[in-house]
Amino acid sequence: MAEDKVEFELVSPEKLLLSREVDMVVVPGAEGDMGVLPRHSPAITTVRPGTIVVYEDGAVTDRIFVAGGFAEISDNRCTVLAEEALPVDDIDKPAAEQALSDARDKIGAAQSDIERRAAEAAVSIAEAKIEVVDNPTYS
């Protein structure tokens, strides 16, 4: 591996989605977006719903929506374990809007804290999908 690269892996429950050396990756961390460059300080963080952005040769090569998960960062490696991941271009905005409406209805109909929290998480994911489509970042 080149010293000026980061080995990036994106893993979903179904499969390994991406595994390659990149210049930089931006991860939507719980505390805000986190740019990972070579020789990054070690960290483990939760990932919020948002977009992972991959840079190679000074340009964005991949924009991948993640619904949440965990990221482990070490010297020249970044591994993201995502609950759900799909290319931003594959997001179906009408489907995300319907999912948002359905999730909001479920919050009102929730009969337990568990049901309410699950519906609130679904709202966050649907809102993030819509935001990504309407306002792409790091283009």
Measured CA to CA, the distance from residue 137 to residue 76 in angstroms comes to 24
Q: Give the SS3 label for residue 13.
A: coil
Structure confidence at residue 138 as a pLDDT band (50, 70, 90): low
Residue 96: is its pLDDT beyond 70? yes
Give pLDDT, residue 3: 77
Residue 129: is its pLDDT beyond 80? yes
Structure confidence at residue 10 as a pLDDT band (50, 70, 90): very high
Contact in structure between 17 and 67 (CB atoms under 8 Å): no
Tens-digit pLDDT profile for residues 17-65: 999 999 999 999 989 999 999 999 999 999 999 999 999 998 999 999 9
Span 108-137, average pLDDT: 91
How far apart, in Å, are the Cα atoms of 52 and each of 34, 57, 68, 69? 10, 17, 11, 12
DSSP class of 95: H
Q: Give the SS3 label for residue 1.
A: coil
Residue 80: is its pLDDT beyond 90? yes
Residue 16: is its pLDDT beyond 90? yes
Residue 6: is its pLDDT beyond 90? yes
Strand partners, 62: 54
The percentage of residues in the chain with a pLDDT greater than 90, rounded to a whole number, is 84
Q: What is the mean pLDDT of the chain?
A: 92
Q: What is the pTM of this model?
A: 0.89
The most distant pair of C-alpha atoms in the chain lies apart, rounded to whole Å, by 54
